[in-house]
Amino acid sequence: MFMITELFLTTLHQFLNTAKEQLEVLEGMYKKMTTLFNNTAKYFAFNPKKYTMEEFFSDLKAFVESFNVRIIFFLI
C-alpha cells in the first residue's frame, strides 16, 4: 500500500509541476494578447470594453472574406 501511495504522490507532483509551467506560459500569452488587442483598439479608435475581442475579430474576418470576394470578382 505504501508503494502505491508513494507512486501516486510522485505522479501527482510531476503533474502539478507540469501544470504550473503550462499555466505560466498561458498567462504570459494571455497578457501579451490582451496588450496587443488594446493597442489595436487604440489604433482603430474603439473601446475594448464595449467592443469585445470576439466581436472585433468576427467583424474583421467578415471584412477580409468580403474583400477577397470583391478582389476575385474584379480580377475575373
pLDDT, average across residues 9-37:
97
Residue 76: is its pLDDT beyond 80?
no
Q: Where are the domains of the chain?
A: 1-45, 46-76
Average pLDDT, the chain: 93
Over residues 25-43, the mean pLDDT reads 97
Integer angstrom CA distances of residue 20 from 10, 17, 30, 33, 54: 15, 5, 15, 20, 27
Is residue 53 predicted with pLDDT exceeding 80? yes
Q: How many whole angstroms separate alpha carbon 72 and alpha carbon 12?
A: 55
* DSSP-H helix ranges across the chain: 2-44, 53-75
pLDDT band of residue 72 (cuts 50, 70, 90) is confident
pTM, to two decimals: 0.70
Angstrom distance (rounded) from CA 41 to CA 9: 47
